Structure 1
Amino acid sequence: MRTQVAIIGAGPAGLVLAHLLHLQGIDSVVLERQTREHIERRIRAGVLEPATVDLLQEIGLAGRLLAERLVHKGLELLFDGVGHHVPLAELAGREITIYGQHELVKDLVAARLDTGRPLLFEVSDVALHDLTSDRPRVTFVQDGQTQELQCDLIAGCDGFHGVSRPSIPDGVLTAFEHLYPFAWLGILAQAPPSADELIYAYHREGFALHSMRSPHLTRLYLQVPPDEQLADWPDERIWEQLRVRLARDDPAWQLTAGPIVERSITAHRSFVVEPMQYGRLFLAGDAAHIVPATGAKGLNLAVADVAALAQAIVENRLDGYSERCLRRVWRVQHFSWWMTSMLHRVADPFTERLQLSQLRYLTSSPAAATSFAENYVGLPFDGGN
């Protein structure tokens, strides 16, 4: 097999890159180890920055998104039993979009298949070869047969646990990592959202987040210890803690509960590797960096990466890919770390006072709120320094 670009991973990063290249007449093959059903049902992020929506619209992939999305012009910071509205659109000039990542993946898969270019599911034993040569190769197994894909370059879009980053020799990359002393217990509930916007709650019992995926599905999160087990969290305990942490002085507000259809516990970390390229291998998305979910940046950062990579391929300016992306990566890392540190409880009275001081300043200072809104809504893909 022969192609120009081998794309490892059929998540949003890999599929958006494949479509960007297709529009420029550049051939690619996308390799995915999971089934199509698996990637289209996998529940992940749901907050899209305006720059992400703009890009999807420009390349003709936003039809269903624009028809079905939820548009949020603000969010709420809840602490001391009082909700504080942050008018994102008013302060930053743009709104955010709520559209489930699994729904976006459905759109991207359908668009890829419509192009007639290869999208291969259920491949295994993927290995990358000759990365510093002019003709790198990818070997893999599909339907019991070993295949070899020759290409001009490889895009590693296969996530934190994929094969792309470990294919780079030891000592080439510098890794920066920060582990947080908590995890998120996340649930998807068949219940209408209890509010029109996201609620970020700071509480003595721990952080909580009220989000949504549709008018009928609510996404909710609880801060838990990093070694917590799902077996320790029956439905009753989950809803009890959500009611406690999302409570407010307003007696008219109440949390809408419903059947829990999905649940998971996810540890929080910040992670970056530098550079994001080695020879003819270019890392994008979670293969190169992880951000804590608090700022809702992971998917958007991945799309920004592949937008830069596609442009670098078209313009034959690949040497500058890593430097260009890392400027944005570190800006987003700082914001995500800052927001995470402000909202999650730790067993330290001094830090608690600092967190409350920051929250009170953020919700009383127009300048602080504007800076927060600009970073939360996200910087343009061609900026971000």
Structure 2
Amino acid sequence: MSLLRYGYVTGPILGVLWAFVMATTLAVLLSFTTGEAFRPGLWGCLVLGALVGLAAPENRVGWLLAVGAAVLGVALSYTPVSPIHVADTVGLGGHLAAGVGFGVGLAWPVMVMMAGAARGALNRHEWEEAVIRFLTGFGYIFFTAIVAIPFYVMVMTSLKTQGELIANPLDFSIDLSQGWDLFRSYSELFRDFNFGQYMWTSFYVSVLTVFITLAFSIPGAYAVARLKFRGQKSLSRSILLIYMVPMIVLALPIYIVFSMTGLRNSITGIVMIYPVTTIPVALYMLQGYFRGLPGEVEEAGLMDGLNRLQVIWKITLPLSLPALASVSLYVFMIAWNEFLLAFMLLDDPSKFTLTRGIASLNSSEIPRQHLMAGAVIATVPVMALFLGLEKFMTRGLTAGSVKG
């Protein structure tokens, strides 16, 4: 371990490791965007990674190292020791993209990792700082890839024709010359598969689920958080037990009961059963927020002549708007994305929710790009809603964590 704590040892090791990370990332990225074959090269990564890692400690001219690595990356891309092997059909542009991208993507992060480190002996702080920076960069790339690659494949597949998918299923590049014709799968979904109705049904059901959930969870959470009664602590701790029961366990009983009562294959039945999955988590989230509100404000309202319901309506709820908005958004996303109950209870296409409608596209008679287009339609609205309100949602969920 003591041998590793030298800049001329730690630098090359981190450089080689980062070279493999960058070569793999760029190879996947270029393959997806161009449809050509790119793959990481072992010897090129070893050579360039070690050289850059050796030059990174005490480097004062970062841009020069990046330029040198880029030039070497381009030059080696034509040799057997290329860090990124390029297919013979790829032209100069592909070689430049691979070489320059690899060189800059290797040199700059390695210099950041080794910033402040000497070529000689490193103290514990310097060595750990370099390793942590490497792990941080690797984590960003790894988890971004996990999220981005499936979504990218889904979007690109939705823009393909059936002939293109049959000719090369792994070609995820895009032909912009087709113009608006790229979105033909989406227009066909709304024209031929009634996806507009599916979206409206999902929106309608999700909004009703939010209102029903809040109607039950607000008084329930307030009672658990504020009122004193026997079994209060046990009830508070057991709220999530219902949520922890897998819905698949309850699927058969729900199906039987809904069939016997005539609620199966109806929007009313869906609206009745969805809150069962959302009320427990809403109760749990709101009770924590209510506990964080200052009780003195409510006591002052009671002393001024307000009854308990008036205190809740005029004092507690206005103070809880951030939490209520956060819970509403969370419940909306649960209802919008719910599939199991909709798949089990709905058979009439005129009453399908969006997720149930997408499941109906999973057929050998329907082109695969339509299924992917349906998945994009279901994902993008709720993703945009979440990303747009993420800060507000986080603030609402954490505002009650500090009492007073």
Same fold per superposition (TM over 0.5): no
Larger RCO, structure (CA 8 Å, separation 6 or more): 1
| Coarse TM-score class (shorter-chain normalised) | under 0.3
Q: When the two structures are superposed, what TM-score results if normalisation uses the length of structure 2?
A: 0.21
Q: When the two structures are superposed, what TM-score results if normalisation uses the length of structure 1?
A: 0.22
The higher radius of gyration belongs to 2
* Structure with the larger helix share: 2
